[in-house]
Structure 1
Amino acid sequence: MIAPTARVRLGYGVGSFCTATFAAVPGLLLLYYLTHFLAVPPWLAGAIVAAPKVWDLLVNPLIGRWSDRTTSRWGPRRPWLLAGACTLPIAFALVFAGPPLRGVPAAIYVGVCFLLAATAYALFEVPYKAMPAEMTDDYHERTSLLQWRMVFIGAATGISGILAPAIVASEGANGTLGSYRLMAVTIALIMLASMLGAFFGTARAPMTGAPDPDPGTLFDQIKEVRHNKPFWWLLVLSSTQMLAVGMMLAAAPYFAAYTLDTPGATSTLFAALVGPLLLTMPLWVRLSRRFDKRGAMVIAACVYAGGTALGAATPLLGSLYAHATMFLVGAGIAGVQLLQFSMLADVIAVDAGMTGKRRAGVFTGLWTAIESAVSSFGALAFGAVLTIGGFLESDPSSPVRQPDSAVTAVLVGQTVVPAVIIVLSVLMTLQYRLPRDTPWTTDQASSTRPAMP
């Protein structure tokens, strides 16, 4: 069995400080920043948050293919980690730079900067997520490896989800343009340290497989991948779950401000969310061994949906109850994300064993592009819910009182709609099938190829 050392696991895991932070902070603060500081209408703000992610549909598969074909003394993936480290922090800081613009011009500026940040992030994310499938050839070892990553995701989510709103609120409950700039620079430095840590920490990571000498065009590879039913079912259910996550992230500041009537509660809600990410990880590893990964995924999604739906009673039961439901949501998200990544690594490893080709980058490029685009539509969907509810945009110089319908829309967008979406993902999970892989070699793959159901 090929397995990474503890040092390599640590080095790989630290890279999740970047992936989790970039997923959390814009999803948590960008929509609110646009509608409350730059006077961008909610529908347009939602579109600005979503639009750069659509770009990922093109660029991520290309980066994945390039990393598959890269040969260097650093390995096929690590040069791309370094490229992301050199570009993402700068682009991220520019997103929240707060130029003297309002309305549509401000939306255009933020949209362009966020597009650049999304591209820089893809340079790091796509190769980074391809690495676990090549670092071990054992079915359960992948879950154990990714458990380390999830611990760092939990820590990063806590740091970014608590620290970023706290920095923003350091100059007033709702923040200022200056506090947003300070937050952006601080988070950019954290991501830089994380990416460099992953680059240097994985220097001795084991690698299974070898480059395909004739991979064909990107279209040819995508055409082959499209027949992999386990991959597509996994992608669909994961994207559905991430749509709900994206919607809840965008809704969190509004939920704190209008449902709990405490704008600063965004940080404490995230603290309640992060605790289970750190505490329940060994439980989900055991459940994946007991009920297999698909069964554990169903359990995790049900916990996630249950906690989200229970949040609808917050106006009756208060802030403490809201934090308790968020703790339950965190437990479900912990299991869902761990199993998503582990099952993706299984699909890639089985494909490599059956075909003898190294195309983890193509798989993860498609995965990250589609999942990221769908997740970003969570902000767009929540923006649509706010628009239907009659939410009024504003800036610090002209605050407005929201109608009761808008306050109700915030609650529905945080609880009811995401819960329904998560339940749909449970139905999709039941369609996922993948035989437990064995450490097939390329020679074995040519004579013994288990059929994909």
Structure 2
Amino acid sequence: MNSKPQKLSVREKIGYSLGDLSANLVFQTLMTYLAYFYTDIYGLETGHASAIILTVGLVAAFGFNPIIGALADRTTSKWGKFRPWVLYTAVPLGVVALLAFSTPDFEYKGKVIYAVVTYSLLLLLYAANNLPYSALSGVITGDMGERNSLSAYRFVAVMLAQFFVQVFMLPIIESVGNGNKAVGIEIVMTWLAVIGTVMLIITFLTTKERVVPTPDQKSTLKEDLGDLFQNRPWIIMLVLTTLVFVTLAMKGGAYVYYFENYVDKESLTHFIQPIINGLESIGVNFFGENPVSAGFGLFNAGGIIFMIFGITLSKRFADRYGKRDVFMVALFLSTLFIVFFYFLAPRFVGLIFAAQIFHGFFYGLTIPLLWAMIADVADFSEWKTNRRATAIIFSAMMVGLKGGLSIGSALVTSILGAYGYISKEAMGGELVRQPESAVYGTKMLVSIYPAIPFLLGIGLLFLYEINKQMETQIEIDLKQRRIE
């Protein structure tokens, strides 16, 4: 295993992070709006939306990702293994992201077929782009401190994408569409496709692969898969990632329903008006006059701002206490504030916003650590087997991410359906007041239900053996081998 100098410039860290900013313009849109888009904009019934999200998502998670991981690990080019994938998928990913959120005027059966085809293509291209991009972080540097720093940079970028999508996107959709959300989302996705494509090209141009396998390293796909399933930290991270993204997709996809159907509109207007007035006084006027979209955006803004604070502190705690222990404690504290939502009445808007802020801060501490821990698992595998298969190791993250996104998003629409939610299609295209059972279901979807996967993930981490001491030992041993 050859290793070139491991220190990274700020330019390279920023360039690499733009890839995640681009990817998350797509991913955060899927997590926040896919269920809502299918039921309340595109007009699918909740059962059909659940089936599409779950079936296509699981096929993508367990079919596309392992294949892409194996192919990426076996790619040989003058640019390295992973950077070519980032370059060549940039334009197709942007085009298909736009198509997936378009609303062609088909009959209902045609709508279902179109949703299946476009969502399948989107997840395929997302895997072909984001899995090699994620694996790239494992070969840009082998230095644990630099890797933690790189993770912090990229997840500040993630938060910027999340901030735009969850804070400004719904008001902008309503504004540019003149109240027609179908038109608005197509316009917004067109711009996101162009911007995201440019960012991915910058990532390709500004990064370099430094951890390079020796020419005589040979392994078959069967050997790589065998290594994976004998690698307990990899299995734990696969399950943990799935659980984390089930929660994120569930509560993230439910918030828009929560604000439209549960939160008291009068109390919300009274609470956010001073904030909006203050923002308008300094020239920030994105929120319009709809209290639901404005409140939804400001609610997400508070959580994301404090997530960014958590991200900036994450490296300091991880360097001192180790990634695993920091992850466990922070995830537990963030879960407490998810559960707190259950006890909040519709008129307790201030407490609703406060719970989101505290949840955001503690969850932010975990965000860079999840991806850095997967890179550590790649090192652990090399340490044990003397072979490095970075992309297929990172396929655990992508399988978990896609599987969790699919399960969590499908749970949003299926649970709402079980509680009696009535979709736009069932209402003949009109939006009316939901039954009380459906309103209660939206509260459960942002409180009790999403807390369960987080708690299971915390229990799983007690079995994860790569603690601070082992991190240090692996880093020392691998550096010595690469020198030899």
Counterpart of 1:404? 436
Contact kept, 8 Å, 1:95 with 1:114, in 2: the verdict is yes
State the SS of the aligned residue for 2:102.
Answer: coil
Q: 1:246 corresponds to which residue? A: 249
Q: Please state how far the C-alpha of 1:109 moved relative to its aligned partner.
A: 0.8
1:433 maps to 2:465: yes
Post-superposition offset of 1:205: 4.5
Counterpart selection for 1:295 from 319, 322, 325 = 325
Structure 1 letter corresponding to 2:414: A
Structure 1 CA distance, aligned partners of 2:216 and 2:369?
Answer: 28
The equivalent position to 1:32 in structure 2, one of 9, 29, 36, is 36
**Which of 152, 155, 160 lines up with 1:150 in the alignment?**
155
The answer to whether 1:44 aligns with 2:48 is yes
Alignment partner, residue 233 of structure 2: 230
Matched, 1:360 2:365: no
Partner of 1:370: 400
Measured against aligned partners, the alpha-carbon deviations of 1:396-439 in whole angstroms (never above 9, x if no partner) come to: 84223210000000110111111122111111111111222224
Q: How far 1:170 moved relative to its partner?
A: 1.4
**Cα distance in 1 between the residues matched to 2:226 and 2:325:** 30
Runs in 1 of length 4+ with deviation above 6 angstroms?
A: none
Alignment of 1:184 with 2:189, yes or no, is yes
- Secondary structure of 2:326's counterpart equals helix
Native 8 Å contact 2:139 2:209 kept in 1: no
Contact 2:18 2:154 in 1 (8 A): yes
1:150-169 aligned within 5 A: 150-169=155-174
How far off its partner does 1:213 sit?
Answer: 4.3
CA deviation vs aligned residue, 1:56-106 (integer Å, no higher than 9, x gap): 211211111221111111111111001220210110100111011354431
Per the alignment, residue 314 of structure 2 pairs with: 284
Supply the distance in 2 between the matched residues of 1:105 and 1:314 (Cα, whole angstroms): 42
Instruction: Tell me, in whole angstroms, the C-alpha distance in 2 between the residues paired with 1:442 and 1:308.
Output: 42
Write the distance in 1 (CA, Å) between the matches of 2:113 and 2:408: 20
Q: Look up the equivalent residue of 1:299 and give its one-letter code.
A: V
Matches within 5 A, 1:333-348: 333-348=363-378
Query: SS where residue 395 of structure 2 aligns?
Result: helix
Among 435, 446, 449, the residue aligned to 1:414: 446
1:263 paired to 2:300: no
Task: Name the SS of the counterpart of 1:279 in structure 2.
Answer: helix
Match of 2:206 among 196, 201, 209: 201
* Counterpart secondary structure, 1:181: helix
> What code does the residue aligned with 1:286 have?
R
The Cα shift of 1:364 comes to: 1.2
Work out the CA distance in 2 between the residues paired with 1:236 and 1:441: 27
Per the alignment, residue 357 of structure 2 pairs with: 327
1:21 pairs with 6, 25, 30, which one?
25
Contact 1:309 1:416 in 2 (8 A): yes
Letter in 2 for 1:63: I
In 2, Cα distance between the equivalents of 1:276 and 1:361?
A: 31
**Cα distance in 1 for residues equivalent to 2:359 and 2:387:** 39
Q: How far, CA to CA, are the matches of 1:196 and 1:429 in structure 2?
A: 36
Once structures 1 and 2 are overlaid, which stretch shifts more, 401-410 or 29-38? Answer: 29-38
- 1:451 corresponds in structure 2 to none
- Deviation, 1:173, is 9.3
* 2:120 corresponds to: 115
Kept after mapping to 1: 8 A contact 2:80/2:209:
no
Equivalent of 2:143, from 138, 142, 165?
138
Give the superposition deviation at 1:289: 2.5
Task: Give me the whole-angstrom Cα distance separating, in 1, the residues matched to 2:19 and 2:479.
Answer: 30
85-94 or 272-281: bigger deviation:
272-281
SS of the residue corresponding to residue 257 of structure 2 reads helix
- Give me the whole-angstrom Cα distance separating, in 2, the residues matched to 1:254 and 1:103: 23
> Residue 83 of structure 2 contacts residue 136 of structure 2 at CA under 8 Å; is this kept in 1?
no
Q: Is the 8 A contact 2:339 2:447 kept in 1?
A: yes
Cα displacement (A) at 1:47: 2.3
Superposed displacement of residue 243, structure 1: 0.7
Out of 418, 421, 427, which is 1:388 matched to?
A: 418
Q: What is the 5 A alignment of 1:82-93?
A: 82-93=87-98
Point out the more displaced range, 310-319 or 38-47. 310-319
CA distance in 2, matches of 1:6, 1:93: 32
Instruction: Work out whether residues 135 and 208 of structure 1, in 8 Å CA contact, stay in contact via their aligned partners in 2.
Output: no
Separation in structure 2 between the aligned mates of residue 250 and residue 359 of structure 1, nearest angstrom: 34
Quote the offset at 1:291 in angstroms. 2.3
- CA–CA separation in structure 1 for the residues paired with 2:184 and 2:177: 9
Contact 1:161 1:267 in 2 (8 A): yes
- Contact in 2 for aligned 1:238/1:371 (Cα 8 Å): yes
Q: Is the 8 A contact 2:244 2:404 kept in 1?
A: no
- 1:201 and 1:30 mapped to 2: Cα distance? 32
Across the aligned residues of Structure 1 and Structure 2, the Cα RMSD in angstroms comes to 2.2
Q: CA deviation at 1:208?
A: 4.0
Offset, 1:174? 6.8
